[in-house]
A and B are shown apart, each in its own frame.
Chain A
Amino acid sequence: DVKVTQSSRYLVKRTGEKVFLECVQDMDHENMFWYRQDPGLGLRLIYFSYDVKMKEKGDIPEGYSVSREKKERFSLILESASTNQTSMYLCASKTQGAEDGYTFGSGTRLTVV
């Protein structure tokens, strides 16, 4: 089974801190994605990457950046955390095949105080 591992399950950070969320997948998937999920808003795509060092903005990239230096690792960076970035963050990966769905990590619940 594909495993997508997110480094932290719960995280509490202070406003203004720089926050790193890490995601690692072990099945050589080309595509990796970062979403946030908030009640009533569903899943919203922040950034994604289809290859090493490649990144694409999703629907809500403001306040975030990403890094993909190795194929298996995709990092989400909150440059200066704010309280409105309190959310569940979900990482996902997939192959480039159209017939394949995502495999998600178990999520990081981030609280910014």
Chain B
Amino acid sequence: RKEVEQDPGPFNVPEGATVAFNCTYSNSASQSFFWYRQDCRKEPKLLMSVYSSGNEDGRFTAQLNRASQYISLLIRDSKLSDSATYLCVVNIASTLGRLYFGRGTQLTVWP
């Protein structure tokens, strides 16, 4: 069983749309959570950390539900430049700093 599961998509949305990605994790010892963004043929880059109380960064909102072991990312007012693959990432305690990655959700925003 994979540590982190994501719907691979693809999600194809028009500019201005709101889109949500979901992710589940299997290990209850998971202690920190992130969303990464990866553009085509580039390295993943940290988009935002996810905190228990939920957090927002401009058009992006991340939520964590520890009871359901579920993480979400909401993108409002989508831009063409949001087209990318979004990776859900989890840090599990006692794994020597290793992070666990979902396979990613592909988003395409069209004009």
Contact = CB atoms under 8 A, between A and B. Distances in A.
A30 B43 contact: no
A90 B43 contact: yes
B89 interface: yes
Contacts, number: 53
Interface string B84-107: 000101010100111101111000
Interface in B15-61: 31-32, 34, 36, 41-46, 49
A106 B22 CA distance: 27
B99 A102 contact: yes
Interface of B: 31-32, 34, 36, 41-46, 49, 87, 89, 91, 93, 96-99, 101-104
19 contacts: A30-B97, A31-B97, A40-B103, A41-B103, A43-B44, A45-B98, A48-B96, A48-B97, A50-B96, A50-B97, A94-B97, A101-B36, A101-B89, A101-B99, A102-B46, A104-B44, A106-B42, A106-B43, A107-B43
Interface of A: 30-31, 33, 40-43, 45, 48, 50, 56, 58, 88, 90, 94-96, 98-99, 101-107
